[in-house]
Amino acid sequence: MENILVAGANGTTGKKIVNLLKESQYFNPIAMVRKEEQKAFFEAKKIDTVLGDLEGDVSQVFNTTNKIDKVLFAAGSGGKKVVEVDQEGAKRLIDASNKNNVKKFVMLSSMGANQPEKAEQLQEYLKAKHNADEYLKSSGLTYSIVRPGTLTNNELTNEIELEEKLNNRGEISRNDVAQTLVRTLKDEIANNATFEIIKGNTLIGDALNKVSTVKA
171 in Cβ contact with 151 (< 8 Å) = yes
Alpha-carbon dihedral angle through residues 92, 95, 100, 106, given to the nearest 10 degrees: 80
DSSP conformational letter for 1: -
Annotation says 26 is catalytic: no
> Which residue(s) pair with 2 in the sheet?
27
Point out the catalytic residue in the list 26, 125, 135, 143.
Answer: 125
70 in Cβ contact with 104 (< 8 Å) = yes
Residue 108 identity = L
Task: Let me know if 67 is exposed, middle or buried by CB neighbors in 10 A (0-12, 13-18, 19+).
Answer: exposed
- Catalogue the active-site residues: 125
